[in-house]
Chain A
Amino acid sequence: MSAPAGQDLDLRQIEQFLYAEARYADEHDYDAWEALWTDDAIYWVPAGGDLTDPAGQMSVIYDNRNRIATRLSQLRTGKRHAQSPPSSVRRVISNIEVLDQQGSDTIVGANFVLAESRERGVEMWAGRVTYRLRAADGQIRLAGKQVLLVNREQALPTLAFLI
Chain B
Amino acid sequence: MSKTVPDIAAAEPAYRSGRVTGDGPDYPRLIRPDRVHGSLYTDPRIFADELARIWYRTWVYVGHLSEIPEPGDYVRKNIGLQDVIMTRDADGRVHLLLNRCAHRANLVCEAGRGNSKSFRCPYHGWTYRNTGELIGFPFGQGYGGRGTIEAELSLAAVPRFDSHRGFVFASMAADGPSLTEHLGEAAGEIDRLARLSPDGEVELTAGWLKHRTRANWKLLAENETDGYHPQFVHNSIFSVTNSPIGALYSDKSAAVTRNLGHGHSENDLRPEFRRVGEPMRWFGTTPDRVPGYVARMREVHGPAAEQIMIEGAPHVMVFPNLFIAEIQVFVIQPVSAGECVQYSTAVQLTGAPELNRRMISQSVGSVGPAGMLLADDTEMYERNQRGVAMLAPEWLDLRRGLARERLDQRGLKIGTATDETAMRGFWSHYLSLMEAA
Binding site for B on A (CB under 8 A): 45, 47-48, 50, 55-63, 67, 70-71, 73-74, 77-82, 120, 153-160
List 28 A-B residue pairs with CB atoms under 8 Å apart, sorted by A's residue number.
Answer: A47-B368, A48-B207, A50-B207, A55-B357, A55-B360, A55-B361, A56-B357, A56-B360, A57-B360, A58-B209, A58-B345, A58-B346, A58-B364, A59-B364, A60-B364, A60-B369, A71-B372, A77-B240, A82-B379, A154-B212, A155-B341, A156-B212, A157-B212, A158-B370, A158-B378, A158-B382, A160-B369, A160-B370
Q: Which 4 pairs between the two chains have the least Cβ-Cβ distance?
A: A155-B210, A155-B212, A79-B236, A82-B375
Complex formed: what's the CA distance from A58 to B210 in Å? 10
**Residues of chain A with a CB closer than 8 A to B211's CB:** 155-158
Asked whether A57 and B369 contact (CB < 8 A) given A74-B240, A82-B375, A158-B375, the answer is: no
Cα distance, A45 to B363, chains bound together (Å): 14
Q: Which of B112, B207, B233, B235 has the most CB of A within 10 A?
A: B207
B112 nearest in chain A by CB position: A153
Question: Residue B206 contacts which of A56, A70, A73, A153 (CB distance < 8 angstroms)?
Answer: A56
Q: State whether A156 and B207 are in contact (beta carbons under 8 Å apart), knowing that A56-B360, A77-B240, A120-B382 are contacts in the complex.
A: no
Chain B residues, CB < 8 A from A155: 210-212, 341
Q: Are A157 and B207 interface neighbours, CB within 8 A? A: no
Most chain A beta-carbon contacts within 10 A, residue among B208, B363, B369, B375:
B369
Q: Which residue of A lies closest to B343 (CB)?
A: A155
Q: Which of B207, B210, B345, B360 is A154 in contact with, Cβ under 8 Å? A: B210
A63 to B208, CA, bound (A): 18
Interface string of B198-223 (1 = CB under 8 A from A): 00000000111111101000000000
Could you say which of A55, A60, A158, A160 has the most chain B C-beta atoms within 10 Å of its C-beta? A158
Q: Collect the chain A residues with CB atoms within 8 Å of residue B376's CB.
A: 80-82
* Nearest CB on B from A18, distance (A): 21
Q: Residue B5 at the A interface, CB < 8 A?
A: no
Chain B positions within 8 Å of A56 at CB level? 206, 357, 360
Cα–Cα distance between A58 and B374 once the two chains are bound (Å) = 14
How many residue pairs link A and B with beta carbons under 8 A? The number is 103
Known: A74-B237, A154-B212. 20 other contacts (CB 8 A): A47-B208, A47-B368, A48-B208, A55-B361, A56-B360, A58-B346, A58-B363, A67-B365, A70-B237, A70-B372, A74-B372, A77-B239, A77-B240, A79-B236, A80-B376, A153-B112, A155-B211, A158-B379, A158-B382, A159-B370
Distance in angstroms from B365 CB to nearest chain A CB is 6
Interface size (B, Cβ < 8 Å)? Answer: 36
B141 contacts chain A at the CB level, 8 A cutoff: no
Task: Check if B368 sits within 8 Å of A60, measured CB to CB.
Answer: yes
CB of A64 to closest CB in B, whole Å: 9
Q: Does B21 lie at the interface of the complex (its beta carbon under 8 Å from any beta carbon of A)?
A: no
CB distance from B407 to the nearest CB of A (A): 36
Tell me whether B1 is interfacial, beta carbon within 8 Å.
no
Complex CA distance for A58 and B348, rounded to whole angstroms: 12
Across the interface, which residues of B come within 8 angstroms of A74, CB to CB?
Answer: 236-237, 240, 372
| Distance from A101 Cβ to chain B, minimum over Cβ atoms (Å) | 30
Which of A60, A70, A77 is the most central at the interface, judged by chain B CB atoms within 10 Å of its CB?
A60
Q: Which one, B206, B341, B380, contacts A58 given CB within 8 A?
A: B206
Q: Are B380 and A81 in contact (CB under 8 A)?
A: yes
Does B344 have its Cβ within 8 Å of any Cβ on chain A? yes
